Structure 1
Amino acid sequence: MGLVIIFALVALLCLAGTFRSLKQKAMLAVFFAGASTLVFGWFAVMTFIGILGGHGVPTAH
């Protein structure tokens, strides 16, 4: 569960960076911060589903 929290916090920080980059109109930074937000958000969601025992998500036993 700690990994989900870490991934979610990183995704939130990336989201803040995305908005800051949009405000400064730095499009390359918007791209990388937005991509990082999507990736870490996806990791957080899929890790959470894996912890709950979702089907199709490999889990370590």
Structure 2
Amino acid sequence: MSDPVAPSGTTSDPLRRRDPAATHQRWIEHLDRVCTDEQTVAAICAAAGVSVPAFYQ
């Protein structure tokens, strides 16, 4: 039996990490879309689908 092959354009390397600068930029853009000045951190996290500790991380 052969090893499974990752679909084109993806990697099967579990140690490969995302570009931190690109991830940071995507989060800034996402939060700009879901946040208002009146929202609490908990409300922002609920809208973004992340936990409060992950937000601060």
Bin of the TM-score, shorter chain as denominator length? 0.3 to 0.5
TM-score (norm. length: structure 2):
0.34
Higher share in helix = 1
The higher radius of gyration belongs to 2
Larger relative contact order (Cα-Cα within 8 Å, sequence gap ≥ 6)? 1
